[in-house]
Amino acid sequence: MGVEIAVSGLTKRFGSQLIWDDVTLTLPAGEISVLLGPSGTGKSVFLKTLVGLIRPERGSIVIEGQDLVQLRGDDLYEVRKLFGVLFQDGALFGSMSLFDNVAFPLREHTRKGEKEIGDIVREKMELVGLAGAEGKLPGEISGGMRKRAGLARALVLDPQILLIDEPDSGLDPVRTSYINQLFVDLNAQIDATFLIVTHDINTARTVPDNIGLLYHRHLAMFGPREMLLSSEEPVVRQFLNAQTIGPIGMSEEKDADELAAESGQELPPLPPIPLQLPTSDGTPRRAEREAGEWCRSNGVTPPPGSFASTTAGIVGVDQGADA
Amino acid sequence: MTVVTNGLKQAGSFFGLVVDVAKAVPKRPFQLKEFIQQAWFVASVTIVPTALVSIPFGAVIALQLGTLTRQLGAQSFTGAASVLAVVREASPLVTALLVAGAGGSAICADLGSRKIREEIDAMEVLGISPIQRLVVPRVLATMLVAALLNGLVSVVGVAGGYVFNVMVQGGTPGAYLASFTALAQIADLVTSEIKALLFGAIAALVASYKGLTAGGGPKGVGDAVNQAVVITFMFLFVVNFVISAVYFQVVPQKI
């Protein structure tokens, strides 16, 4: 289960405006990857490009030996059945109840009877914690519930790839933790390839196997979580630690004067790398690696206090005396 | 320069949509439920206003023609001219304006709000073509309703003309009715229905195109609806002229 997505040389512009240039990365099969970036760097555009909703100017997206950029019409619809996509606001069909929303892909693409469809829908609704809300309309429920219903719909055809657009936008921190836990558990259960687009660094620090950072119209870095969290690269360091010192400014990148003014300032030390979020019942995921493995095999010394807990280095969590 | 290229781009992608819709029409499964719902919806928002508009429209035509025929000394042809004017030109246009104004704007607003809520994207991603699922039933439903409404407008318009001519202008009922077939022929009715079908298709296609390309939040949907109605109206009058011109070349006229 799980499918690898190989993106190479992807370039997208809207008119004369360059969104990102020459993005090359491989989402490893069955692993959770997070795509980060400041607001307005085209993270959502990248996600829509991956499913063929937006056509890039150059580059290729290879899935199971087919280049998605070249596919048209029915072939494209066929490849899309591999995907489950959770849009920012859930993108539920406003005229249908939650049950019909979740049942929709099954009714369209399978020959299952209503009874079987009902069983699958209820199972998925229970998985995302919405049991009992089947009869509600999307307009009658909260944003968090819409998101979870959208997730249930994305899961119903057993996707090989799950793309998730800003799962934490508009959710409180507790619900964000729950939904992150749900992603980790789901990954253990269905082994699909996950790509989560977010700008929440707490999610990025604890959930994924890989992190990518889009910045200044290109992919600044993509690699294993420990590689980015221990990176001294200014952009990566600034973003993953939510600091004002660094090349990212309020509107876009800082100008030369601002950078010169900062040049004497000492950067705060890298915070410790937290443990990766385990599954709720402790069963290991297939893609899971031992904490600190990447650092050891690449001769990188992780910041002191790393891998002590899943909250190490997380902003806003009390670190105790020794951290 | 960008104004020109932008216009060409819009025209190009609109015709792209038209081709996609044409290709999707024979595709199975046909969305019968959506088709019936949409037909019912478009009919329900257009029947009453259409009937109400067509009564004064028929009366105005009768008034103009009644005066004109008297000046020319051809009162006996009032009915004939009235039928020609209503069936050939007025009825398909009135139908189209109302279908575009009431039905088209609703279609555009519906698809536009689905677009900005990412429902259209979600549908694409679920492997379902929004063209086949949403646009084809809407286009066919609007065509059907336009053709049926055209019949209604013709009847109400001619009846309105009769009432006005006979009761207000003092025309004779016999002359009005007897001259019906003096100039009009069955080809007029057929052309009228073809016009109505085409106008219905144009209204639904433009509305769908504008709805599916709406962007920029709720204001974008409002703009899209506005543009859809204006563009449809301009299209209608051009296409109406072309069809009428072709009609006079192709169909031999009586007398």
B3, B21, B117, B118: best mutation site toward chain A, by most A Cβ within 10 Å?
B118
Q: Does A93 touch chain B (CB under 8 A)?
A: yes
User: Could you say which of A89, A108, A150 has the minimum Cβ distance to residue B128?
Assistant: A108
- How does pLDDT run across A85-110, given as a tens digit for each residue? 998 888 899 888 999 999 999 988 88
Q: Which residue of B has its CA nearest to A51?
A: B125
Interface of B with A in 104-133 (CB under 8 A): 113-114, 117-119, 121-129
- Judge whether B72 and B131 are in contact, CB under 8 Å: no
- Rounded Cα distance between B241 and B243, Å, is 6
Q: Average model confidence (pLDDT) for chain A?
A: 85
Q: How far is CA A208 from CA A148, A180, A183, A236, in A?
A: 19, 10, 10, 16
Interchain CB distance below 8 Å, B118 and A89:
yes
Q: What is the pLDDT of residue A253?
A: 66
pLDDT, tens digit, 9 for 90 and up, residues A5-24: 999 999 998 888 888 889 99
CA of A77 vs chain B CAs: smallest distance (Å): 5
Are the Cβ atoms of B127 and A93 closer than 8 angstroms?
no
Q: Whole-angstrom Cα distance, residue B118 to residue A268?
A: 41
Q: Do A78 and B128 touch (CB under 8 A)?
A: no
Does B43 score more than 50 pLDDT? yes
Burial A77-115 (b: 16+ CB within 10 A, else e): bebbbbbbbbbbbbbbbeeebbbbbbbbbbeeeeeeeee
- Residue B20 distance to chain A (closest CA, Å): 10
Instruction: For chain B, say whether A85 makes contact (Cβ under 8 Å).
Output: yes
Torsion of CA A176, A179, A183, A186, to 10 degrees: 170
Cβ–Cβ of B122/A91 closer than 8 Å? yes
For residue B122, list chain A residues with Cβ-Cβ distance below 8 A: 85, 87, 91-93, 150, 153
Residues of A in contact with B114 (CB under 8 A): 93-94
Paired residues of B134 in beta bridges: none
Nearest-CB residue to B127 (from A48, A77, A91): A77
CA distance B229 to B107: 11
Closest approach of chain A CAs to the CA of B115, in angstroms?
10
What percent of chain B shows pLDDT beyond 90? 39
The answer to whether the CB atoms of A108 and B124 lie below 8 A apart is no
State whether residue A156 sits within 8 Å of chain B by CB.
no
Task: Please tell me the total count of domains within chain A.
Answer: 1
Per-residue pLDDT averaged across B149-165, rounded?
87
pLDDT in tens, B44-58: 999 888 888 888 888
Q: Is the ipTM beyond the 0.95 threshold? A: no
Inter-chain residue contact B117 with A105, CB threshold 8 Å: no
| Rounded alpha-carbon distances, angstroms, from residue A280 to A169, B13, B34, B132 | 23, 50, 44, 43
Q: Of A119-128, A282-291, B193-202, give the lowest mean pLDDT range.
A: A282-291
Most confident of A35-39, A41-45, A317-321, B19-23: B19-23
Residue-range domain boundaries for chain B: 41-244
**Which residues of chain A make contact with B129, given a CB cutoff of 8 A?**
77
- pLDDT grade, residue A316 (50/70/90)? low
Q: Using CA atoms, how far apart are residues A247 and B139, in angstroms rounded to an integer?
A: 53
CB contact under 8 A, B122 and A53: no
Indicate the residue type of A123.
E
The answer to whether B3 contacts chain A (CB < 8 Å) is no
Whether A43 maps to a domain, the answer reads no
With contacts defined as CB-CB under 8 Å, which chain B residues touch A153?
122, 126
Residues of A in contact with B119 (CB under 8 A): 91-94
Q: Which helix (H) or strand (E) holds A34?
A: strand A32-36
- Straight-line distance from the first to the last Cα atom of chain A, in angstroms, rounded to the nearest whole number: 39
Strand residues in A87-182 grouped as ranges (E): 161-165
Task: With CB atoms and an 8 Å threshold, state whether B126 touches A80.
Answer: yes
Q: If you average pLDDT over residues B72-77, what whole number do you get?
A: 79
Asked if pLDDT for residue A247 goes beyond 80, the answer is no
Angle at B69 between CA B63 and CA B71, to 5 degrees: 105
Residues near B171 by beta carbon (within 8 Å), at least 6 away in sequence: B66, B75, B78, B165
CB A249 within 8 A of CB A261: no
Tell me, what's the pLDDT at B147?
Answer: 93
Q: Which residues of A touch B127 (CB under 8 A)?
A: 77-78, 80-81, 105, 108-109
How many Cα atoms occupy the beta-carbon half-sphere of B140 within 13 Å? 19
Q: Which residue has the higher pLDDT, A252 or A249?
A: A249
Q: Are A38 and A239 within 8 A, CB to CB?
A: yes
Cβ(A35)–Cβ(A50) below 8 Å: no
CA dist B168 and B59 (Å) reads: 10
Among A residues 261-300, those touching chain B with beta carbons less than 8 Å apart:
none
Among B9, B33, B114, B125, pick the best mutation site for testing chain A contact (most A Cβ within 10 A): B125
Residue A9 backbone phi and psi in degrees, to 5 = 60, 30
What integer best gives the mean pLDDT of chain B?
Answer: 88
How many CB pairs below 8 Å do chains A and B form together?
A: 52
Q: Which residues pair with A34 in a beta bridge?
A: A196, A211
Distances (CA, A) of B108 to A255, A313, B99, B227, B254: 45, 50, 12, 10, 42
For residue A320, name the pLDDT band (cuts at 50, 70, 90).
very low
pLDDT in tens, B80-134: 888 888 888 888 888 988 999 999 999 999 999 999 988 999 998 888 889 999 9
Structure tokens belonging to residue A214: 């889009």
Cβ count within 10 A of residue B199: 28
Could you read off the pLDDT of A28-85 as tens digits, one per residue? Answer: 999 999 998 887 788 888 999 999 888 999 999 999 888 989 988 788 888 888 899 9
Range of the domain at A135: 93-150
Q: A146 in contact with B at a CB cutoff of 8 Å? A: no
**Contact indicator for B83, B184 with CB cutoff of 8 Å:** yes
- Count other Cβ atoms within 10 Å, centred on residue B127: 19
Tokens of A19: 């969104």
Q: Give A93's contacts in chain B (Cβ within 8 Å).
A: 114, 119, 122-123
3-class secondary-structure state, position A86: strand
Q: Which of A96, A101, A104 to mutate to test the interface with B (most CBs of B within 10 A)?
A: A104
Q: Does residue A312 surpass a pLDDT of 80?
A: no
Q: Which residues on B lie below 8 Å from A155 (Cβ)?
A: none
Quickly list DSSP for B76-100.
GGHHHHHHHIIIIIIHHHHHHHHII
Residue A165 CA: distances (Å) to CA of A31, A141, A158, A198 = 17, 19, 18, 7
Q: Is it the case that residue A265 has pLDDT exceeding 80?
A: no
Report how far residue A177's alpha carbon sits from residue A186's, in angstroms, rounded to the nearest whole number.
14
Would the pLDDT of A278 be above 70?
A: yes
What is the chain B residue with the closest CA to A158?
B126
Q: How far B187 CA lies from chain A's nearest CA (Å)?
A: 40
The b-or-e profile of B139-160 (16+ CB within 10 A means b, else e) is bbbbbbbbbbbbbbbbbbbbeb
Q: Of B72, B100, B66, B70, which Cα lies nearest the Cα of B85?
A: B66
Highest mean pLDDT among A41-45, A136-140, A216-220: A136-140
Question: Do A93 and B119 lie within an 8 Å CB cutoff?
Answer: yes
Report the DSSP pairing between strands A32-36 and A193-197. Answer: parallel
A23 located within any domain = no
- Tell me what the mean pLDDT of segment A304-309 comes to: 81
pLDDT above 90: residue A321? no
Q: What is the pLDDT of residues B133-147, one digit of tens each?
A: 999 999 999 999 999
The pLDDT tens digits for A161-186 are 999 998 887 778 888 888 889 899 98
CA distances from A37 to A252, B42, B151 (A): 11, 46, 59
**Reported pTM:** 0.82
The residue with greater pLDDT, A199 or A138, is: A138
Chain B's closest residue to A157, CA to CA, is: B126
